[in-house]
Amino acid sequence: MRKRKWKLRIAGGAVTLLGIYLMAVGYGETITLTIATVVLIFGIAIWSMATPESYNSMTDMIAMISMEKPRKIEEFYEAYKNVDTPFGSAWLAKFYTMRQKALVFGPDAKGEYLYFWLTKDGHVGYLGYSFIEGFIKKKLTTPVYPIHEDVAENLADHLSYHSDLMMFQSELKANLEHFVKTGTVQPFQKISASQIYTFTEDYRLTGQHFDLEDTDGNLVYEIDSTVPLKTFYIYDAMHTEIFRMTKELLHALPTYRFYLYGEPYGVLKKQFALVRDQFSMELPEGKLELREYAGSIGHNYSVKLNGTMIGAIVDNMDLTVGNIMFDNAFLIVYDAKYLPQLTALAVMAARELARDKDGGLSNRS
């Protein structure tokens, strides 16, 4: 693994330097700059493949797992074939897109599944997500436990289900890493039923306004601000202040100060990242992290407390005038006691997205 790391580091560094050189000599020439940009991106990609840490920081759709010794996919199949998970038990398959056999969890009724495969030398594994069932060429084994089917009846339910899938992918990655190190499989947590809320935006002459409603259309929270849009207040249905967030000025990266029932709660700071928006906050109960899903459609975020997912903010992709004009979203909540905090984070995400659209500092090219 160490030899592979340095091979990719050297190759990636060389290709990246070539891209920078082409940019320098081809300044002002569109074709040369285009080629240089492609070479530069290719070099960064090679560099990131050297270690799981750098690779996994680039995307959430596929995760790299390093092996301490060469492994075979059959070892993982024997370990997981009798283990029930939210996506059923594992089974082996052949894919049109690779020569190696892969371990599969799923697919569900919509064709979504997770799959795990090893490189030819067995030193590196990859855990991926796909919604294209047609990539599966042949089913080599049959799952002992069938998948727990998606019963989503509308877009909100399906987005919640998709969030559950991303949550399971994160748990499966940690489980596979544990198996690589110890040779034992940890029991999987049963995904708790999530609550879904709609988060809608409205702009008024007196400032910005958001409503948070439950699935029955009942108002849960109102969020108001005054011009300038620096402080946001979260009120319950009786118009009692529950939460407050204030954006601090004169910071290189966005910083927000949070208050719960009028008392200081924490300071949320944006972290420098090249690929996705990422914020963190230290709390008495641990570290709260807001991270954008890299590689997903729309601007979607996961919220974790000490590594455990407590919620998600998912773009409402329904094609309505309101969704096109405003940053409307679904709020998926796994732990209801953090609903005020998750609501504040949804407001913050909407403000930062609007800032990016207006030309502020963005992680996107």
Q: Residue 262: is its pLDDT beyond 60?
A: yes
CB contact at 8 A, 180 and 118:
no
pLDDT tens-place string over residues 303-333: 999 888 888 888 753 333 333 334 567 888 8
Taking the C-alpha atoms of residue 189 and residue 25, their distance in angstroms, rounded to an integer, is 55
Instruction: Show the beta-strand stretches assigned E in 205-343.
Output: 207-213, 219-225, 231-236, 241-248, 255-260, 263-270, 278-283, 286-292, 301-305, 308-315, 329-333
Other CB atoms within a 10 A radius of the CB of residue 29 amount to: 12
pLDDT tens-place string over residues 270-289: 887 666 778 999 988 899 99
pLDDT at residue number 141 = 96
Structure tokens at 361: 């500092």
Q: Residue 29: is its pLDDT beyond 90?
A: no
Residue 129 bridge partners (DSSP):
114
Closest CA to 272 of 362, 355, 356, 365: 362
pLDDT at residue number 148 = 67
Q: Residue 95: is its pLDDT beyond 90?
A: yes
Predicted TM-score (pTM) of the model is 0.65
pLDDT at residue number 359 = 47
